[in-house]
A = this chain, B = another copy of it.
Amino acid sequence: MNAKAKGATQDQKIYEHIFDAILEQRLAPGTKLTEEGLGEVFGVSRTIIRRTLSRLTHEGVVELIPNRGAYVAKPDIDSARQILDARRLIELALVERIAERGPQLKRELTLLRLLIDEEHASSARADTGTAIRLSGEFHLELAQLAHNEPLANFLRSLVSQTSLIIAMYQSSQQSNCAIDEHSKLLDAVEQGDKEQALSLMAEHLDHIEARLELVQNEQEVDLEKVFGHLRVRD
């Protein structure tokens, strides 16, 4: 089994390493990812790296420009709005489905509570990167409970891209202030209180967006305004 699963797991590991690095913001948006460079780091040929980059591209966290190479994606504001909009739609629908079966989910919910603990811990030691990743993983693990693979996979892509959006547009340095919204959400789910779960999820997503500055930040620089007072000749 060691040799048998080697190929698949090796691929998976490399994928996860890059994926996590992006989600933990150790790779900033816009960073160039050269095939040979990554290949050397992981000790494989460009073939493998190429497949991995292709997968990351399909998930939206890497942008692949023909003949130019791969870069960590830099979602613009319009794209960010679409992603967050999609995410709201999917997560509300999933939470609705999950809350309906909430009381039967004791076992699965305790696993989720462990994840929350880890999240608190990393947040406490100011490990922002890990905290962001774990926060995303919470949403994904929760999504698994809805038993809809296509939706869960899609959400995975959306959550990853949300991490990039946070990296690019977070305004206040205050990290996840809403530190136990996850807990409260689980409580509502566990009690099968659909209405409460839905509004908590909606609020939670609101808070995430509230921490962003989704205003046109890179507006066209008006050189006149910047240098006008330096006019030397007239």
A66 located at the interface, meaning its Cβ lies under 8 Å from any Cβ of chain B in the complex: yes
Q: Give the residues from 66 to 118 in chain A that come closer than 8 angstroms, CB to CB, to chain B.
A: 66-67, 79, 82-83, 85-86, 89-90, 93
Q: Which residues of B contact A150 (CB under 8 A)?
A: 60, 82-83, 86, 154, 157-158, 161
What separation, in Å, do the CA atoms of A82 and B83 have in the docked complex?
22
A8 located at the interface, meaning its Cβ lies under 8 Å from any Cβ of chain B in the complex: yes
Which residue of B has the minimal Cβ distance to A78?
Answer: B147
A54 located at the interface, meaning its Cβ lies under 8 Å from any Cβ of chain B in the complex: yes
What separation, in Å, do the CA atoms of A154 and B54 have in the docked complex?
17
Q: Which residues of B contact A79 (CB under 8 A)?
A: 149
- Total A residues in contact with B, Cβ cutoff 8 Å: 26
Q: Which residues of B contact A147 (CB under 8 A)?
A: 82
Interface of A, secondary structure class, is: helix
Which residue of B has the minimal Cβ distance to A54?
Answer: B54
Q: Which residues of B contact A151 (CB under 8 A)?
A: 82, 85-86, 89
Which residue of B has the minimal Cβ distance to A148?
Answer: B82
A58 located at the interface, meaning its Cβ lies under 8 Å from any Cβ of chain B in the complex: yes
Which residue of B has the minimal Cβ distance to A150?
Answer: B86
What separation, in Å, do the CA atoms of A83 and B154 have in the docked complex?
12
Which residue of B has the minimal Cβ distance to A161?
Answer: B150
Contact of A8 among B58, B66, B90 (CB under 8 A): B66
Q: Which residues of B contact A7 (CB under 8 A)?
A: 66-67
Q: Which residues of B contact A54 (CB under 8 A)?
A: 51, 54-55
For the complex of A and B, the 3 pairs showing the least CB-CB separation, nearest first, are A82-B148, A86-B150, A58-B58
